[in-house]
Amino acid sequence: MLLALSAVLTGCSGAGAPERPVESPVARGSAPEQIATPPSPTAPAVSPVAQRLIPARGKYFGVSTLKTPWSPQETDNVAQRAGGRPNLLEYFAKWTEDYRPEAVDATYQQGAVPLLTWEPWGSVAAGTEQPQYALAEISNGRHDAYIRRFAHHVKAHGRPVILRFAHEMNGTWFPWAERRNGNSAGEYVEAWRHVHDIFTEVGVRNVAWQWSPNILRTVEKVRLQPLYPGDRYVDIIGLSGYSKHETRAADVFEPALNEIQAFTGRPVLIAETGARPGDDKALWIADFFTWLRGRPDVIGFVWFERNIEQGGKQDWRFAETAETQNAFRGGLAGLELADAPSGEPMASG
């Protein structure tokens, strides 16, 4: 599929911690504010695999649940509640896990595209201070054997994957943040490029790279451009953004997207979203779809369809109540969904 999008971009928080305390934005490793420059009109094209995965028309309706993509029944249940079938499934892998081709196969068998969030840490329980996963440790080669093995397995499998690496880097809740774990300014981009370069050396052709910051709420003074690896290293922009107290989707997403549009014209796939329980949840869901239909640069979204017992810090599910479910069904009914590609393997390099 070829991309036919406007390069104009505008407008939550992650699976690990959708709500974060406000912390001082000027802390260890914070980069100084920079004046953003407009995207270059000669920016490199997205990779061939991204051209296949970025829809020419329609949007991605993605979900992350406790059991996707492993349980087709769970995907069926989401489709029944939503009134439309997801065409993208997101799942997570830590750096203690190898690439699992069966997860990608299961996703395509369910008529969806796989979005793998690849997290460079050992465990959630260890928190933000995990020195063996400091950004400098990634760049200096400590994990090269693991990264190379992972890349070889991805290449051997051949099926297209969106790889969302080290997400929400502008926050403070993961050990790959520049304000945690002994990291310093500039080290995030170095680590990203190092990992990407290994995939290039291995000859991986079936990965579309997604760079996915958090929205600006609580981290408003952390600039995004110094954290951006560059268009040579990124195919798709992601964003985590959840409705906490807002009543309009634009209020959640657009502060970050307005900043991002100044330095890249890559298309946007919202990698995590949901809405906090409350009287305005159904209204926000309805407004989200209205906003999404008016954004040709946003090619889709992933709804974090989990409650507290399933890994959410809140009950983010669109199916929390009959009212919120009806709002979601109504919004999705008015959204043209993209045709998911077949998942045929790509030619290896």
Phi-psi region of 96 (alpha: psi -120 to 50; beta: other; left: phi over 0): alpha
Verify whether residue 168 is a known catalytic residue.
yes
Q: Quick check: 92 and 124 in contact, CB under 8 A?
A: no
Which residue is catalytic, options 74, 272, 305, 320?
272
Q: Is the distance from CB of 196 to CB of 229 less than 8 angstroms? A: yes
Burial of 134 (0-12, 13-18, 19+ CB in 10 A): buried
Helix 281-293 to helix 322-333 angle (10° resolution) is: 10
Q: Are strands 268-275 and 207-211 parallel, antiparallel or unpaired?
A: unpaired
Q: Which two tokens stand for residue 169?
A: 């880097």
Q: Please name the residues in contact with 329: beta carbons below 8 A apart, sequence gap of 6 or more.
A: 81, 82, 83, 84
CA-to-CA distance for 273 and 61, rounded, in angstroms? 11
How far is residue 335 from each of residues 83, 294, 330, measured CA to CA in Å? Answer: 11, 10, 9
272 is catalytic: yes
CA 46 – CA 32 distance, rounded (Å): 29
Query: Distance between the two ends of the chain, CA-based, in angstroms?
Result: 20
Which one is catalytic: 74, 168, 178, 187?
A: 168
Residues taking part in catalysis: 168, 272
